[in-house]
Structure 1
Amino acid sequence: MPFFISQGHKLHYEVKGEGLPIFFIHPPAMGSAAFYHQRRLAHDFKVVLMDARGHGFSQAGRETLTISEWAEDLHNLADVLGLDRVLLCGYSSGGSVALEFALRWPERTAGAALAGGFPEVRTTLLHREFEIGMWITEKGWMGLLAGMLSIGNAAQAEHRERIAAAVKRSSAPLVHSLYESGLHYSCTAGLPSLSRPLLLLYGSRDWYVHYYQYMFYKYAVQAPKDIVMVHGVGHQIPTLQPASYNAAVAQFARQLEQGGVPFKTLT
């Protein structure tokens, strides 16, 4: 089980396959177990999974974590692995980490694919989701959170068990701090400078984040971008509609590998 040291913390990661490196960035609490179905992309690409600090098999350390610190950990992992450019695939608030990375290190970013992504929390329903996560973790009820996330994100028993185990291993104070950081994080002001290709994926039933696609259209004016609406699913695109998600990511990655701009700049 490989580990590396970043900002004084021992962090767990996995690397499988060859080709364009794809960093999959999980939501709070779930760890890399969220991307159980994405490992099959290693047949064509270099799949890189990392448990964020205090998640899964990674050390918690001081039990606080911000979006910015998580992005720096990923940048350090890219250095350790000798990767010049990576495709960043963020799921839910993992997309905030992808955006932070892309804005701070555009020269290391091949592109970003965001599943249910948002540049900041601006709507009431999404704000409530973060508050619920903060309330549960403040109480230390990781068993409850494990049940909620595993049932909501997995159709297969094995995947449910993997997610539940990962959540239970995660540090409640650290996950609480990450929910808090995600709630207050905003990169909207930086979006006009974002130049790397951007793929936005939303579930057709994920009504409480549909608003955010318009923010990307409005502010990310330089970035070539496209939106994929995945039918028959809410927020859990990578976990409940993995075939559609993997196909979209693979197409995006192949286009990036070929050195072209995957789609036109949409303004």
Structure 2
Amino acid sequence: MPNVSFDNTIVYYEKYGEGIPIIFIHPPGLGGVVFDHQLPLANYYQLIIPDLSGHGYSVGPLADDPIKQYAKELKTIIIHENLSKVVLCAYSAGGTIAQYFVREYPELVEALIISGAYPKVSTWSLDTVYRLGMETLKLSPKFLAKRLAASNSTNRSDKKQLLQYMKKSSVNHWYAYYLTTYYYDVRKFIDNISCPSLFIYGNETDFTHDHQAYYYEQEHIQIAYVEKAAHQIPTKKYIAFNHLVRQFIDRVV
């Protein structure tokens, strides 16, 4: 399993396929395994799927600013793999990391894809999801892991795999990832997104659905919808998600 190390941090990642490189950014607690249904994309592109530090197999000290830390981890992987530019593909809170990365390192980003993007927790529904998640994590990480595994799976095998993988996550890193993205505000960065971007939402209302309004006026951002879907598109509507990813990358990269 490839890895990069710096400042007492070791970040492990999976690598599949060849061609245009896509780096995936997972949400809190879930680790890179949440993108297992995107592995068929390795028939067309190079996939790089890291466990951010404190998740899966990756380890490191708890950072004062996890968003900055995770962006640095992604940059270190890009340099280690000798890549000039990559496509970032993020899911949920991973989209905060992605939007920050685009602002900090625009020269490294060929295109941006986010499923369930939001620039700030600014609705009652998303605020409630975050607060419940953080409180549950403090009281019972096992219970939260079961809830997330269930909500991101369509069968017993996927649920079991996600649950086992989440057990590897550091609760402190998991909580810090939640907390930092809860308070972070990238609205001031939106105008700086100049790379071709695709933001994907379900056509059913969920806790990120209303946040798409922040991105409507941005000329570089295209918004796409998946029918009969809510938030868990990469894991539960992966055929449609993978199709949108291929269609977008083949058009703009």
**Equivalent in the alignment of 2:225:** 229
Q: Is the 8 A contact 2:71 2:100 kept in 1?
A: yes
Residue 17 in 1 paired to residue 17 in 2? yes
**Equivalent in the alignment of 1:160:** 159
Q: Is the 8 A contact 2:99 2:189 kept in 1?
A: no
**Equivalent in the alignment of 2:70:** 70
Residue 248 in 1 paired to residue 244 in 2? yes
Q: Is the 8 A contact 1:150 1:163 kept in 2?
A: yes
Superposition deviation, residue 208 in structure 1: 2.5
**Distance (whole Å) between structure 2 residues aligned to residue 162 and residue 203 of structure 1:** 24
Residue 4 in 1 paired to residue 4 in 2? yes
Superposition deviation, residue 63 in structure 1: 6.8
Residue 196 in 1 paired to residue 195 in 2? yes
Structure 1 gaps, min length 5: 258-267
Residue 238 in 1 paired to residue 247 in 2? no
Q: Is the 8 A contact 1:20 1:86 kept in 2?
A: yes
Partner AA of 2:225 in structure 1: M
Superposition deviation, residue 60 in structure 1: 4.0
Question: SS at 2:119's partner residue?
Answer: coil
Q: CA-to-partner distance for each residue in 1:154-203, whole Å, 9 max, x for gaps?
A: 11222211210121111111111110001011111121122111101001
**Equivalent in the alignment of 1:48:** 48
Superposition deviation, residue 2 in structure 1: 2.1
**Equivalent in the alignment of 1:145:** 144
Q: Is the 8 A contact 1:142 1:167 kept in 2?
A: no
Q: Is the 8 A contact 1:16 1:42 kept in 2?
A: yes
Aligned residues: 253
**Distance (whole Å) between structure 2 residues aligned to residue 142 and residue 216 of structure 1:** 33
Q: CA-to-partner distance for each residue in 1:229-257, whole Å, 9 max, x for gaps?
A: 11112100000000000000111111233
Superposition deviation, residue 64 in structure 1: 6.2
Superposition deviation, residue 135 in structure 1: 0.9
Q: TM-score, normalised by structure 2?
A: 0.95
**Distance (whole Å) between structure 1 residues aligned to residue 81 and residue 65 of structure 2:** 23
What does 1:68-147 correspond to in 2, within 5 Å? 68-139=68-139, 141-147=140-146
Percent identity between matched residues is: 30
Q: TM-score, normalised by structure 1?
A: 0.91
* RMSD of aligned residue pairs (Cα, Å): 1.4
Q: Is the 8 A contact 1:60 1:174 kept in 2?
A: no
**Equivalent in the alignment of 2:209:** 210
Q: Is the 8 A contact 1:87 1:110 kept in 2?
A: yes
Q: CA-to-partner distance for each residue in 1:64-90, whole Å, 9 max, x for gaps?
A: 662221111101110111111111111
Partner AA of 1:104 in structure 2: E
Partner AA of 1:24 in structure 2: F
**Distance (whole Å) between structure 2 residues aligned to residue 242 and residue 21 of structure 1:** 19
Superposition deviation, residue 30 in structure 1: 0.4
